[in-house]
Amino acid sequence: MSTTKKEQVERKRAGKGSRTCFRCGTHQAIIRSYGLYMCRRCFRETAVKLGFRKYS
């Protein structure tokens, strides 16, 4: 058993309204694009690994 009732409740709450970065847990500047739910800061770090590049 890896999933507890408490985890299910928290997951439900998170999906209802407040989005949080699954990587660091912040709720600021969450990026939902590409199916990602992470903050801007984590996105910049992860994007490089995923193959995203700056087009500027």
Give the Cα separation of 54 and 52 in Å (integer). Answer: 7
Nearer Cβ to Zn ion, position 24 or 48?
24
Those residues whose C-beta lies under 8 Å from the C-beta of residue 12, and which sit 6 or more positions away, are none
Which pair of structure tokens corresponds to residue 50? Answer: 């995923």
- Provide the mask over 4-33, with x wherever binding to Zn ion is found by CB under 5 A and - wherever it is not: -----------------x-xx---------
The span from the CA of 28 to the CA of 52, in Å, is 21
Give whichever of 9 and 29 is closer to Zn ion, judged by the CB atom: 29
The residues in 35-54 that bind Zn ion, with binding defined as CB under 5 A, are 38-39, 42
Which spans of this chain sit near Zn ion (rule: CB under 5 A)? Answer: 21, 23-24, 38-39, 42
